Amino acid sequence: MTNALDPNAPMYYKGLYHFFCQYNPKGAVWGNIVWAHSVSTDMVNWKWLKPALVPSKWFDKYGCWSGSATILPGDKPVILYTGVIKEKPQPGHQVQNYAIPANYSDPYLQDWIKPANNPILKPTVENVSAFRDPTTAWYSNGYWKMLIGSLRYNREIAYLYKSKDFVRWTRAKIPFYEKQGTSVWECVDFYPLSTHGQTKKSTLGKYVFKVSLDEARNDWYTIGEYDTVKDRYHPSRRAKWLRYDYGNFYASKTFFDPVKKRRILWGWVNESSTRDEDLAKGWSGIQSIPRMVWSDPNGKQLLQWPIHELETLRGQKRHLENVKLNKGHIMEIKGITAAQADVDVIFTFSSLSKAEAYNRKWDNFSPEDICKMKGAAVEGGVGPFGILALASQNLEEYTPVFFRIFKTHNKNYKVLMCSDATPSSTNMNEYKPSFGGFVDVNLAKRKLWLRSLIDHSVVESFGEGGKTVITSRVYPKLAVWGDAHLHAFNNVNTTNHEKQQYSNDIQKHIGCDLMSTDDRNQMTDKSVQKQWEIMMYS
């Protein structure tokens, strides 16, 4: 029984990628938190090592909580982490500590030392029970600097601390950034924004500031400017708070990959199940597929895409082209292992004339609420269309991932992307939420792109080249292993899913030719060009 939680301090050291995460080796629930540790040469195939940090000192007696890794000059990694010294006040009295490798020549970094001068930071005016998760440090104006998330007088705060020697830290007089009306800021992340993630410096003069909201259990980011003199962050004018992922995705962490010059994002794919269901399964929580993250060409949001190394896992390939799906038609994609598949589809449609009207009252609703009202089985004008992942033989279970297109009052269009776990399992005890997010896309080319990574109990979906991402945890009882099926659909009709209702509204062109890395990079960076293929691999 295990519980894998927040990714902590991903880094690259002496030929190996290192991944740490919060981990309970004694049960599928919160508690007994240590730092699990794995290494890899490609971020796809991993080797488990012994835990890097376990509670062993007075300054982390009740838990080694989240933190980060920084590579200091001389190729010397150091871990910053939150230690819990008392169980009360809930969830614990928190301080900040550091750890260093016992042997810098060991590429596996199997042993870590907690120096006796810990803790390096104790809360003074900060909230002792909301003072956690130090960021990766950066060097600026002669100081090392890091952020710590907190909460004070119902105001969410990211404090900035600076140091000359990485041991003695001083808090800046003014918070790095603060806001009111959310919840405790956990797992704060801050990094430069670049067009292709190919540098540690910002190529756009902008930065990403990200927080994890403790109560809502989701991650939000904003893009803005960093005042290096006053050490303050300012969101860009009209900048919106956006989600990394609109589904089961929390406590994320990024790091810069110096080998392939890219920024990598990891997140905790937390459960939708109840505590009882987690205990019954005997495990809880996994890590997302590593994702590359960089700026959309418009500079208004981030794009995310699975690392290219993932394509080495592709096996059997199914290739379909120029397939027309009429309204009400569901087409099974055969010849692949549907329980584990990489599905890459471009949907095309000839007209938007029948798009549903967008109700302006929905502006007060969340995208999830609209997805609940407008599910895959609710007939629409242009959409819903997408895939049915992890479907049982007779569609008693299926997880639909789909688009719906709405026409607004000013004759523009809004694209909604949904991943709906509601029909995913016949187990009535499972919590089966509907997730959704809007996609900022120009529909002039009448195309939408969807990629979904399906792996037994998780479906990670990337809309329009990574503009909108949704991860769902699902636990079917019938659609497992060889009994799982995959379908493409246009307005799903679960009562008679073989019936075709002829309409020319939507065509779906599905193909499976493997593109070269250069081709895929071009598509990812420049949105969907004149490609008419969808790839499905198992």
- Which are the catalytic amino acids? 6
Q: Map tokens 């989701």 to a residue.
A: 218
Q: Which residues contact 445 (CB under 8 A, 6 or more apart)?
A: 528
CA distances from 510 to 196, 322, 341, 467, 488 (A): 28, 6, 15, 21, 9
**Would you mind telling me the total number of residues written for the chain in this entry?**
538
Name the pairing type of β-strands 262-269 and 485-490: unpaired
Q: Which residues contact 274 (CB under 8 A, 6 or more apart)?
A: 429, 430, 431
| Angle value at C-alpha 305, between 302 and 309, nearest 5 degrees | 145
What distance in Å separates the CA atoms of residue 480 and residue 458, rounded to the nearest whole number?
Answer: 12
Of residues 384, 392, 389, the one with CA closest to residue 400: 389
Name the pairing type of β-strands 329-332 and 356-357: unpaired
Of residues 177, 302, 182, 186, the one with CA closest to residue 240: 302
What is the chain's percent helix, strand, coil content, to nearest 5?
10, 45, 45
CA distances from 305 to 73, 77, 92, 269, 293 (A): 31, 27, 36, 16, 7
What distance in Å separates the CA atoms of residue 297 and residue 344, rounded to the nearest whole number?
Answer: 22
* Helix (H) or strand (E) segment spanning residue 20: strand 16-24
Q: Map tokens 């989240």 to a residue.
A: 66
What distance in Å separates the CA atoms of residue 185 and residue 164, rounded to the nearest whole number?
Answer: 26
Of residues 510, 462, 469, 478, the one with CA closest to residue 336: 510
Of residues 344, 386, 346, the one with CA closest to residue 514: 344
Asked whether 90 and 116 are in contact (CB, 8 A), the reply is no
